[in-house]
Structure 1
Amino acid sequence: MTTSSQHHTATARLRRPSGIRSLRLGETKVTYVPDGAVQLTPRGWLPASTDADWATHAEYVDETGHLTAGIGGLLVEHGDRALLIDAGFGPRSFPAEPGSAIGAIQGGALLENLAALGRAPEEIEAVAFTHLHTDHIGWAWHPGPGSDSPAFTRADYLVAEPEWSQRHLLEAHGTSKETLDALAPKVRTVADDQEIFPGVRVRFIPGHTPGHAAYVITAGGQGSDGRRLIAFGDALHSPVQVGHPEWSAAPDHDSVRSADFRRRLVEELQEPGTIGFGIHFADVVFGRVRTEQGRAVWQPLDDDGS
């Protein structure tokens, strides 16, 4: 039985960006590293939804009428080694524009939060991108504090081959040619199912962008509990889509294809031992998918994995 206090806490988490949250998968530790947040207008971002839908799902909408989406990266640590999946928005902010599906957006906290976790940017051996939209590549091209160079001085930039080969298509979504050119010297393209780090494999799930990728992190070594985590990037932007995989996002490159992958992803997230990581999932970034009253729902996990 859910108490009124528990319901209030659960609702509050859906309406605020996440702080630092961590899970252990055997000898691997994964940590959400916040950079900032963005407001999304429910019907503007998910145009297949209706006012009636949002009356039913009012718990996802904050007092300003927006969905809250966090921005950041996923730190993957295995022994002394460190990989970062996505690199936030960078030290920038923009106010809401009337009529836009995107409200106010701000970033800039990623390096500070990495420092709080005891990691310097130069310790990151690679930055693996789910895709090349500006809220995922910010610190990979923006100069680090007091420098003319990006913060991750030693890192390769890992990009799915079809994402990089079709990068010209991303310019319509705000990733300028100049930004892509700045990334280019450090880019190394990766193939579907390639292992890029101990226990971390690439999985192509195109739709949101031409070469959008997920990363599957498998527990291994001593203390392995058989669990795996799927960091699915922008295949899902909000936990509300778990129950509505037909709701594609307005900027999806191929909305039909993205919906197809989303349906399959939601099914896979219901498999035993499978955890999801939603980088934009407000303060419920880690979770499992369960079925309640015939519909799939996102069940958040706490930092201990429960």
Structure 2
Amino acid sequence: MNDRRRLRRPSAVCSIQVGDLKVSYVPDGAMLLKPSAPFPPATTLHDTEYGAHLNDTAHLVANTGGLLVQDGPRSLLIDAGFGPRSAPEDPAHPYIGAIHGGSLLDNLAKLGPRPDEIDVVAFTHLHADHIGWACKEPPVFTRATFAVPKSEWENRHDLPPGAEATLEARMHLVTPGEEVFPGVQALALPGHTEGHTGFAITSRGERLLAFGDALHSPLQVRHPEWFTVPDTDPSQSERHRRRLIAELQRPDTRGFGIHFADVVFGRVVPDPQGEGADWHPV
């Protein structure tokens, strides 16, 4: 990568074209992640080629936000950020540092649609940094249907206060393979949570895989065995991560990593020496 500073800063609004669909990252804020087992400790990462991924406080920099898919006047938002709040770092927390949101609506305005014009809000899973704005009162996505993975809903736990009733009132339960928006199909990627779901966005022979938290960092493309502490089933998450990495090597396919610092859109390219693969930003 020519500018390795991108690995240590959050992403701004950015867009790509997938066939006839305009697809845009909509930032809400940023979060810091602590490298924790099976990731090597920060002291070890600093001494390797992977040290470029750590900021000056030895954290991995991640985003929180959503992915906007626009098809003419219609629009879909995948995930809804952390919401208008922030949380300082808890030194005792095993993997999450400071996190803040609040910018999603302002950044959405830069891309055109108002919140009350969004047709569908779909969720990869129901963690707080993915459902924030969808659970705000008064509601902001007043027109949208909430597409929630069926298995995720059936295995829900630890939702923020009031979130369950808010989501249920607008909810459509989604099963793997179901189309949630023209050209956008649900893709089962369990392991991070029981019902964790990605979305395959396809148009005119081009494909983008929005894989949610199946991968938290580009480092996991090279090391799919590195799961993250909140994965409910590490072996299952690794199995689906390896399948996902193989799919991302197809020439017609790009990926979107919500937590991938300032390299959210990219391709997976095999190592010329046959030793794994790497994330190449686009």
The equivalent of 1:139 in structure 2 is 133
1:94-125 deviations in Å (ceiling 9; x for gaps): 11111321111000000000111121001100
Pairing 1:48–2:29 present:
no
Please point out which of 11, 14, 23 is paired with 2:7. Answer: 14
> Equivalent residue for 2:239?
260
Q: Distance in 2 between matches of 1:273 and 1:137?
A: 30
| Amino acid in structure 1 at the alignment position of 2:114 | A
Which residue pairs with 1:223 in the alignment? Answer: none
Aligned positions of 1:1-306 closer than 5 A: 6=2, 9=3, 11-43=4-36, 47-51=37-41, 52-56=44-48, 57-100=50-93, 101-143=95-137, 149-167=138-156, 170-171=157-158, 175-176=159-160, 178-220=162-204, 226-292=205-271, 293=273, 294-301=275-282
Contact 2:39 2:227 in 1 (8 A): no
Task: State the one-letter code of the partner of 2:8.
Answer: R
Separation in 1, partners of 2:155, 2:165: 13
Percent identity reads 53
2:75–2:118 Cα contact (<8 Å) kept: yes
Change in CA separation of 1:54 and 1:210 when aligned onto 2, cut-off 3 Å: farther
Distance 2:76 2:54 in 1: 33
Deviating beyond 3 angstroms after TM superposition, the runs of 4 or more aligned structure 1 residues are 51-54
SS in 2 for 1:42: coil
Structure 1, unaligned runs of 5 or more? 144-148, 221-225, 302-306
2: distance between equivalents of 1:64 and 1:112?
28
What displacement does 1:176 show? Answer: 3.1
**Alpha-carbon offset, residue 53 of structure 1:** 4.5
1:269 deviates by 0.6
Q: Which amino acid aligns with 2:146?
A: Y
Deviation of 1:198 after TM superposition, in Å, equals: 1.0
Structure 2 runs not aligned, ≥5 long: none
- Letter of the 1:298 partner, please give it: W
- Distance, in Å, in 1 between the alignment partners of 2:101 and 2:242 is 30
Hey, what's the Cα distance between the residues in 2 that align with 1:285 and 1:230?
11
TM-score (norm 1): 0.88
Amino acid at match of 1:285: V
Q: How much has 1:295 moved relative to structure 2?
A: 2.4
Aligned length: 276
Displacement of 1:285: 0.3
Q: What is the rounded CA distance, in whole Å, between the counterparts of 1:98 and 1:142 in structure 2? A: 28
Q: Deviations over 1:245-303 (max 9, x none)?
A: 111110011111001100111111111111000001000000000122422100000xx
Which SS does the other structure have where 1:271 is aligned? coil
CA separation of 1:236/1:54 partners in 2, compared to 1, >3 Å: closer, same or farther? farther
Q: Quick one: which amino acid aligns to residue 159 of structure 1?
A: V
Give 3-state SS (helix, strand or coil) of 1:215's partner: strand
Q: Name whichever structure is richer in helix by fraction.
A: 1
